[in-house]
Amino acid sequence: MAKNIMIQGTASSAGKSIITAALCRILKREGYKVAPFKSQNMALNSFVTKDGKEMGRAQVVQAEAAMVDPMVEMNPILLKPTSDVGSQVILNGEVYKNMSAEEYHKAKPRFKNRVKEAYDKLNSQFDVIIIEGAGSPAEINLRENDLVNMGLAKLVDSPVILVGDIDRGGVFASIYGTIELLEPEERERIKGFIINKFRGDVEILKPGIKMLEEKVNKQCLGVIPFMDINIDDEDSVTDRFRNKISGDITIAVIKLPYISNFTDFTPLEIESGVKVKYVSSKEQLKNADLIIIPGSKNTIMDMKFIYDSGIDKEIYKKHRDGVPIIGICGGYQILGKEIVDPYSVESPINRINGLSLLNTKTVMAKEKRTKQVKGKFKIIPRVCSNMKEEVITGYEIHMGETEIFEGNKSLIELENGRLDGAINSKGNVFGTYLHGIFENDSFRNSIINTLRAKKGIEIKESNLSYRELKEKEYEKLARIVKENIDINKIKKIMGL
């Protein structure tokens, strides 16, 4: 039977995901076989496992930190918002149905056994399970039928560590208020707290920590400094949308209202001299050297946003000026002539005209394709014409089927013979369903150097492997966190 600990937060984005990842790597390095677990994740960033199951990216990051393959049991319920009040529910890696927030809340008791079954499978295979909560356990309106915070802690009998974000301000009040709003048995589960994202001299903080410890009768298990770590974050509550200030090359990613899998662009963001801008107005596109239209969980509504905001007109202007344009998944669909959703899979609007930069038509299907894939470019796009290797890997998560018409050709031939993507006759506009495509080092480096050459900037030979970079960042994360928490106390709480 595995030992466990649960990381809860005083609010969303307090740092639960990243601290869970850190503990996964720290305990892995101490010789334990570690698994992350989050029963319910609400995010538009997802991943496909080797067996074709869809799960949240945060648990994939944590699995990588633990140095194990991601398993869908690590995230049995994934909620992908399709509107302000509804989500597509992914259960055990497969589409269950679209549900409103009210419908899902009422259905939670039916999912309880599925959550426990997923946890039990991990429990039988690992030494340690690091559990991540969601939002705050003090959301008292959601206490009934809770599956992700104290309800889950009780279900799997886990002690809890509470994390507060001092960078937002009011950390003492948030920790104190969270604990006070809990029921007595829930308070008893909390064995200590961690203050996260601290900037400054920790000595100045100590009197406040001592007073808080006395008021809540809980111990402080660490003060973690604000960290500059290149690790994928969980959702759109993220610093990545605060655009990097400098860079010789500017890549503009359209910040769609229903943007999904924006973690596709992390490999570009960490490249030296590259500025990735997330743009939501036509004015922000003016200096773009490359435009990327990202994935979407509601492609028709995001296409409507592009029209309503006037971004389409600036995209056409940049296209006439020779700026290359790439579409990923939903962005690939948007580049085409028409998007049709006959079954209202994503939107109540059943059709919309696309940008017509590709001669394609997409029809939304009832079944979702989720698969890891490998292939080769049939046609090398102009923006990466010097690519050394043509083999490409990625993963598909889409419900649309796209048909290619005259003047355009398929982009990639997959190893099973299927074709993916489309490219125009000039080779400067292309789309693909492959998420994770920029993790292919030769493809990414070729794009960046082609853009440099076009601007007369010195070409840099990059030896950067994205996989190696991630490993360095996980090690850096583990080192910083371990230096600033009492890991022996945490292990004792877990019974290790």
- The first and second tokens of residue 322, run together, are 């020779």
Report which of 441, 79, 422, 479 is spatially closest to residue 260, judged by C-alpha positions. Answer: 79
The per-residue pLDDT string of the chain (496 residues; one tens digit each, 9 = 90 and over) reads 899 999 999 999 899 999 999 999 999 999 999 999 999 999 889 999 999 999 999 999 999 999 999 999 999 999 998 877 789 999 999 999 999 988 998 899 999 999 999 999 999 999 999 999 999 999 888 888 899 999 999 999 999 999 999 998 999 999 999 999 999 999 999 999 999 999 999 999 999 999 999 999 999 999 999 998 888 765 444 566 666 667 899 999 999 999 999 999 999 998 889 999 999 999 999 899 999 999 999 999 999 999 999 999 999 999 999 999 999 999 999 999 999 999 998 888 999 999 999 999 999 998 999 999 999 999 999 999 888 777 899 999 999 999 999 999 999 999 989 999 999 999 999 999 999 999 999 999 999 999 999 999 988 776 778 999 999 999 999 999 999 999 999 999 999 9
Distances (CA, A) of 248 to 74, 274, 453: 40, 6, 11
Residues 6+ apart with CB under 8 A from 340: 350, 351, 361, 362, 363, 364
Q: How far, in whole angstroms, is CA 278 from its chain's centroid?
A: 15
CA quadruple 403, 408, 409, 412: dihedral sign: negative
Specify whether 329 is catalytic: yes
Q: Retrieve residue 180's tokens.
A: 């006070």
Sign of CA dihedral 188, 156, 2, 52: negative
Spell out the residues 6+ positions from residue 461 whose beta carbon is closer than 8 angstroms to its own.
none
Q: How many CA atoms lie within 13 A of 134 on its CB side?
A: 23
**Helices 487-494 and 16-29, packing angle to 10 deg:** 90
Ordered domains of the chain (ranges, CATH)? 3-231+471-494 (3.40.50.300), 249-456 (3.40.50.880)
Distance CA 15, CA 434 (A): 29
- The whole-model pTM stands at 0.92
Active-site entry in 24, 220, 319, 329: 329
Q: In whole angstroms, how far apart are CA 288 and each of 258, 277, 310, 455, 483? A: 22, 9, 16, 12, 41
Element (H, E) at 351: strand 351-353
Q: Return the closest-CA partner of residue 142 out of 175, 101, 179, 97.
A: 101
Tell me if residue 319 is catalytic: no
Instruction: State the Cα–Cα distance between residues 314 and 281, nearest whole angstrom.
Output: 9
User: Of residues 220, 319, 384, 435, which has the active-site annotation?
Assistant: 435
User: What six digits make up the tokens of 77?
Assistant: 């319920």
